[in-house]
Amino acid sequence: MAHSNSRRHFMATSVQSVGLAALGGMLWSGYTDSVKASPLVLRPPGALKEEDFLTACIKCGLCAEACVNRETNIDKETGKARPGTLQMAKGGDALLIGTPFFVPTEVPCYMCEDIPCVPVCPSGALDMSSLLNEKEELDINKASMGLAVVHKESCIAFWGIQCDACYRACPVLDVAITLEYQKNDRTGKHAYLLPVVHDNACTGCGLCEQACVTEKPAIFVLPNDIAKGKAGDHYVKGWDMQDQERVKNAQGKETTTDRSKKTADEYLNMEVEY
């Protein structure tokens, strides 16, 4: 009898364990699908495209440790380490738990020359080769973590108030952000100094976002897929020889419609067709 009860208890426990494991799997699957849909996340330098990054990242935290433990992170006055740029997502964050990210308004990327967070990555989720220059040396200016975007209605420079905080904070001074002089027609006497972000040089470090003087930053970094449009492969830059080379073997495609089957004099003088 005791043996029978033990067997029933064992079977019941096994069924419960299988059920809990299945439930846990479904919950985790639902969670990962949910957080993968969070597009407004900035990853470390050299991060692969988001889908590939989430697959490759083993959530070891070595990049965040290297970031906070870098020599340049020591406060000269107190001798203590400041908060690191990289955070590891935890429960409650709208990101996959254990993956690294940063929030520029809290702690931007300080553009370390040796980029300590990248070489320590053991899985290739942070691609070192994408940050190499012509001399095969690590170059933080090759990073493309995102793109700074200026909201003109909130930026006081577009009101006519002189402000160059973002321009001065940019580590790629007068290259990633330049100031464009424009006549102020409202006063007729003064000039606007308007910040212009250049996609080919902006690394997405967020130093401009943190430096912005407005209550909420009027310049902010967005992931590249969000910040940038896409013209499409079928548009060609006629003045760009490389772009011309890209489509040298392209073939035309003719689309036929009921209208195109008619001659011009068959429809030009007709009434509007709905």
Average pLDDT over residues 94-102: 86
Q: What is the mean pLDDT of the chain?
A: 85
Alpha-carbon dihedral sign for residues 83, 89, 95, 99: positive
Domain that holds residue 123: 38-143
Structural domain includes residue 23: no
Lowest mean pLDDT of 19-28, 34-43, 243-252, name the range: 19-28
User: Based on the domain organization, do 57 and 107 belong to the same domain?
Assistant: yes
Lowest mean pLDDT of 31-35, 99-103, 214-218, 251-255, name the range: 31-35
**pTM for the full predicted model:** 0.74
User: Based on the domain organization, do 128 and 43 belong to the same domain?
Assistant: yes
CA 140, 180, 156, 220: dihedral to nearest 10 degrees? -30
Residue 30 has pLDDT above 80, yes or no: no
Residue 213 has pLDDT above 90, yes or no: yes
Number of domains in the chain: 2
What is the rounded CA–CA span in Å between residue 138 and residue 119?
10
Residue 3 has pLDDT above 60, yes or no: no
DSSP conformation class of 132 = B
Residue 141 has pLDDT above 70, yes or no: yes
At 273 the pLDDT is: 57
User: Based on the domain organization, do 139 and 43 belong to the same domain?
Assistant: yes
Structural domain includes residue 184: yes
User: Based on the domain organization, do 44 and 129 belong to the same domain?
Assistant: yes
Any idea which residue has 């001798």 for tokens? 79
User: Based on the domain organization, do 203 and 215 belong to the same domain?
Assistant: yes
User: Based on the domain organization, do 78 and 115 belong to the same domain?
Assistant: yes
How does pLDDT run across 219-248, given as a tens digit for each residue?
999 999 999 988 888 888 889 888 888 888
- Given 143, 172, 193, which residue is the final one in a domain? 143
Average pLDDT over residues 138-158: 96
* CATH number for the domain harbouring residue 164: 3.30.70.3270
Confirm if 63 and 117 have CB atoms less than 8 A apart. yes
